[in-house]
Amino acid sequence: MSTDARGRHVRDPRHPLVSLLLRGLATALVAVLVVGVTAGAVLMRQLDGNITSVDISDQLGDDRPEEAEESVDSLTILLIGSDTRDLADAEEFGGNGASPGLSDTTIVLHLSAERDRAQLISIPRDSMVQVPDCILEDGSVAPGGFKQFNSAFATGGAACVQRTIEQTTGVVPDHYAVVNFDGFRAIVDALGGVEVCTVEPIDDPVSGLVLPAGTSTVAGDQALAYVRARKIGNGSDIDRIGRQQAFLSSMVQEVTSTGLLARPDRLIGVLDAGTKSLTTDPGLDSVTALAGIARSVQGLPTEDIVFLTIPTVPWSENENRVVWTPEADLVWEAVRNDAPLPGQEPPPAEPSPAPSPDPLTVSPDAVTVDVANAGGPGGVAGEAAADLRTQGFVVGAVTNGTEDITGVRVLVPAGQDEAALTVAAAFPGAEVVRDDTVATLTVLLGADAPRVVEVPNRLGTEPLPQRAAPQGATPSIDVRAADEDICA
């Protein structure tokens, strides 16, 4: 036992009761954030003593990335779990009791600045990443390298995990929090169990998990086995993360139900279990701090609480390990900039022709137009030229432009204003600019340029081809909303 700067007793982060963190470690924090605001002042003071505080700020180094201006008012909490299995019942969950203490689960919880989105991003433990040099408690430095992600916890505890997150993603967590095995079981029991859904019956002798096909309510060891067991499904960590996210979705639905809020006995049990299971940094070590966050997200619809697993593919050197795909960069960029995750919002609808303020007076076959790629994906100018020809336009030069723009710009030489309206009708949202330096109407296609649409006075009847989304467009990444049916 040691003390922090305020003289408060803190547990050593390597102590088994702190480092033995369960697979569903986000559960306690979700419970406290959602219902903590309802706790009375006296109860909050009593609960404050439950939370363990460990300050890791001195181990985070001076080479931390700068936060994006857009994310100043957002809140990011790093949730870390350990797969150390030296508890008495370790064998029940597939452990051999010999693990050095690797991070079994890491979840980045991001609350938007406007508190209108909550994003929980799971990082597979088997990811191969560049772990940085880590500062240990005694001030020495452990060398980094290209290693399995969960080795960071074994190397330098929570501080090394946070340094790895910061150096590999550019995301700077505001806080960290961990939850232990006993806390998880107590929270689920205080809720009266959590409903889960399985496609096939499960009878796993390793974890002791026994469930029929369909929906079941699990509690205690069965709940713990459900989120931790690896010998069911396809046995992969990705599959286990999926079960965990489905479990947390179900739990969010249970926690936010009016039934819980109307039952003070259950509510207090959840809060007591949640705070007892938390180890946090000093900035998050009181129910007052947690209740402040709870108030900021009060009323957040469950459909705006989403879960995502970082996209991966098998590592070429070892199929039992994974590496992040380029789409992972888009996820971390969204977190850094406090933006919706790719896939969190529905893709934009296909553009439709904008009504022209005046009837088009120039037929497409009377218009000659040059088309230039000005920052769009490769091939976009050729595709646009073909779609214009289909409608009767006379296409001149198809080239690469000398500047990069966003959207579409129509350059109009003197005397061709009416013809320009016909061209602009083919590109919704196009900017029409007078330019006496060009001899021919010229279309510049930049980043995010819309596809060609039919103009009202087009010629011919051949339909425009169905074009794929531009290569520069943000791909959709699967996310799971907390309000999804648990059997989905």
Tell me how far the alpha carbon of residue 409 is from its chain's centroid. 34
pLDDT bucket at 100, cuts 50 / 70 / 90:
very low
Q: In the prediction, which pLDDT does 172 show?
A: 93
pTM of the entire structure?
0.64
Q: In the prediction, which pLDDT does 84 show?
A: 44
**What is the third-level CATH fold of 364-445?**
Alpha-Beta Plaits (3.30.70)
Average pLDDT over the chain, rounded to an integer: 77
pLDDT in tens, 224-245: 788 777 667 666 777 878 887 7
Residue 355's CB is within 10 A of a number of other CB atoms, namely 7
Q: Which long-range contacts (CB under 8 A, 24 or more apart) does 355-361 make?
A: 356/421, 356/425, 356/456, 358/421, 360/421, 360/422, 360/425, 360/455, 360/456, 360/457, 361/418, 361/421
Q: In the prediction, which pLDDT does 81 show?
A: 67
- 8 Å CB contact between 208 and 229: no
Extract the runs of DSSP E, i.e. beta strands, from 151-231. Answer: 175-179, 194-198, 202-204, 209-211, 214-218
Domain ranges of the chain: 2-342, 364-445
- 8 Å CB contact between 228 and 105: no
DSSP string, 39-80: S-HHHHHHHHTT-EE---GGGS-S-PPPPPGGGTT-EEEEEE
Same fold, 2-342 and 364-445: no
What does the pLDDT average to over 24-41? 47
Among 167-176, 211-220, 245-254, 445-454, where is mean pLDDT lowest? 245-254
Instruction: List 324's β-bridge partners, or say none.
Output: 312
pLDDT in tens, 135-147: 998 889 999 999 9
Asked if residue 257 has pLDDT above 90, the reply is no
CA–CA gap between residue 441 and residue 16 (Å, rounded): 73
Rounded to 10°, the helix 220-228/237-255 angle is 140
Among 306-310, 370-374, 479-483, where is mean pLDDT lowest? 479-483
Instruction: List 408's β-bridge partners, or say none.
Output: 445
Q: Which CATH architecture has domain 2-342?
A: 3-Layer(aba) Sandwich (3.40)
pLDDT in tens, 41-87: 555 666 777 777 889 999 998 889 887 666 678 999 998 765 444 44
Structure tokens at 443: 């279309």
Extract the runs of DSSP E, i.e. beta strands, from 325-414. Answer: 368-373, 394-400, 408-412
